[in-house]
Amino acid sequence: MSYRYIISLSSEVSSKWWTYVEGIFWPTSYLPYLSTDEQSLFYQSLLFHSCTELSMEEYGMVFNDSLCTVTTNNNQNFTVEINPWFVWSDGTPVTIDDIYFTYRNIVIENQWWLSKLNTYSDTKIEKISDTSLSMTFNKRSIDNRLFFTYHILPRHQLMSQWFEYYKTIFWTNPTYTKCGQLVTQSNDINSLVFNLNRCPETHLWFYQIKNLHAFNDFKHDYQLTNRSIIDAYYGNEKLDGYIAYPVVTHAYTTLFFNTNSDKVRIRLRRALAWLINHHFYSGKIDDFIWKDQWIFDTFMSTGSNIEDFLTRITPDGSASIAELEESGVKNLDDKKIIFNEKDRRHAYYINNNPFSIDIEITTVGSYDSLGIKYWDVDKGNISSYNKNTKTAKHTIPLREIKSGINTYTLYTKDRNDKVINIWSITIYLLDDTATEENQWAPETTITIVYQNTAPTQKVVQQLKSVFESMDIADFFIFLPLENRTQMEAELVSNQYDIAIIPIQRWLKRDLSPILKTDDVITNPSQYTNPQFTSLFEQYIQFDEGNDTIRSQILWIYTRDIPFMILGKQINHIYLKPDIYEQIFLMHTGTVFENNWRELIYNNLTRVSNTHIDTENIWWLSAFRDFIQQRIWKYNQEQNIIENEEEQIEQTAF
């Protein structure tokens, strides 16, 4: 009886998991700004606060106030108010001066010359009181909220110090604000250990990161011994004894159509995009692509007419003209171009070879010089350019106009003589005298280039399956490239028709840096459209977007289709069974690249212990209540037994 009484006043509580070990295969850093990959950002968050902390939800990003309260009404002008209860690990209170120092000196002015921080050089910051400051970004964007997730550093420790001090002296003994503590390691130089005993939000006692350097070395050792201290690792290959779980990355797998290729003109791009959209998302797609419902997720057909575009000879002049005009290309009847930098697009076609083309140029800005390139061959400065009137005239001679696509680029130079491209003009010459052999025969295959990584291989396999199911596989050649260097060389050669490349924008939604340039490395489609880019920049000013602007964006996109975003890449984490069963087996939400460690940190427990309520156990009233409950339960059980016996007597033979 006494045992049951004690148990009735007890409850199960989770105890600390002794040590959780994550295996990694590339360098990391627990100091902010030395590394900005997802694993480093998480480890840094065990030591350092940021003004706001980011969490990923099914419907998007959520920014929670932490070290500060951050407010805005337009996503361009922000007010930052420090929350006064935070203290550095050396006992110094955290003040608005720490926030101001980190944002102005480290991030905006980039006094440590870190290339990854150049984005915010034109951001304005002003201290407006002892507890607050204001910030103004150069344009409105929901992406500006990400700025406040930068970790804050101690001004009193680093104000007058060089970068070398930060990554050596401060690195060995950092001053921080979070509950985690670094554990000095002398016997394992490949491990980094955090003591989390003072962290109430986690059941972990120690969080250990072990750098395994190369996956093949880890695999070899594991297969020899069939055991490992590694509880989880992030990668592309599963080992026996571990369970794979999908993680959504921030890389958008994208098909870039080379808009300068004669093979993938506008109608083919549309039909191919429609076909892929209709058939790609089937089978085990969830293993490698997460379909993000986003602004470009709109298509108007199934692409069933794709073979018409692949099997016919290049259309005659009238059909080609229709195709060009649908994509916004204008007829150059008078052989004269009035170039205005404000215009949406400078693309023209002509039906026969002229003696020359005259260009009248008006620029928005005033430049010291204005040059022109034909087919990337520098033709030097335009001598007639007047920087006061911002006008110039130039003649393109007959010998510089070829059949097909002609590209002419206007440029200027900065003080360091660096070439800056201002705009480009595209002229399509439809030569009626060209022979059938000189035209593109659709029997010529379309070349699709891609970097041969595990996630992209799965995308390629799916595309091949789609093409085979539609009986068009023979029209495509897939060219795998082994590394980024080979990929860039192939893009520069401009011999590709389609490139499969992940867009790496971290959590940013703004794609305008890609859309603004025709640089083939940054934008393999080589498609530029000022109106399209301007509308997109307007769209991301709003937290929830804008339906009117979205409609205008889609009107342009569905007619030009310069690229197609398939979705976000999926990689995998590999977990020991006990961790998988406890955290992920019943997990219903999407797990993202930047929150899977947090799920383990917040939810992993070792065992449940019994906690006895030693305060109430000696109270007479508690014992009386227990006795009354036991008597009531006993009487209930006796009533059930008597009723059952009575029923048996009534039905017995």
pLDDT of 532: 84
CA distances from 411 to 402, 414, 631 (A): 22, 10, 94
Provide the β-strand partners of residue 19. Answer: 206
Contact call for residues 622 and 83 (beta carbons, < 8 A): no
Residue written as tokens 């009723």?
Answer: 643
Q: Centre a 10 Å sphere on the Cβ of residue 591 and count the other Cβ atoms it contains.
A: 19
Q: How far apart are CA 546 and CA 583, in angstroms?
A: 38
Spell out a b/e string for 119-139, using b for 16 or more CB atoms within 10 Å of the CB, else e: ebeebebeeeeeebbebebee
DSSP-assigned letter for residue 585:
T
Secondary structure (DSSP) of 115-146: GGGGGGTT-EEEE-SSSEEEEE-SS--GGGGG
pTM score? 0.71
Query: Can you tell me the distance from the alpha carbon of 644 to that of 628, in angstroms, rounded to the nearest whole number?
Result: 25
- Number of helices (H), then strands (E), belonging to the chain: the values are 18, 28
State whether residue 86 is helix, strand or coil: coil
Cα separation of 87 and 128, whole Å? 22
Whose tokens are 């840096």? That residue is 513
- What is the rounded CA–CA span in Å between residue 85 and residue 67? 9
What tens digit of pLDDT does each residue of 463-510 get? 999 999 988 898 999 999 988 889 988 988 888 999 999 887 666 777
In degrees and rounded to multiples of 5, residue 345 shows phi and psi of -155, 140
Angle at which helix 266-279 crosses helix 317-326, to 10 degrees, equals 60
Tell me which residue of 153, 200, 157 sits closest to 180, measured CA to CA: 200
Number of Cβ within 10 Å of residue 365's Cβ equals 9
How far apart, in whole angstroms, are the C-alpha atoms of residue 154 and residue 99? 9
**DSSP letter (8 states) at residue 170:** I
pLDDT digits (tens, 9 = 90+) for 512-556: 778 888 788 888 998 888 888 888 888 877 766 677 888 888 888
Per-residue tokens: 189: 């130089």
442 in Cβ contact with 313 (< 8 Å)? yes
Strand duo 356-362 + 336-340: pairing: parallel
pLDDT of residue 551: 81
Give 578-586 contacts, CB < 8 A, sequence gap 24+.
579/20, 579/231, 579/232, 579/604, 580/243, 580/245, 584/245
Positions in the chain short of pLDDT 70: 1-17, 57-60, 185-186, 293-295, 297-328, 333-336, 338-346, 352-355, 375-376, 398, 403-405, 431-444, 505-507, 543-545, 606-653
pLDDT for 300 equals: 54
DSSP 190: T
Residue 624 confidence (pLDDT): 63
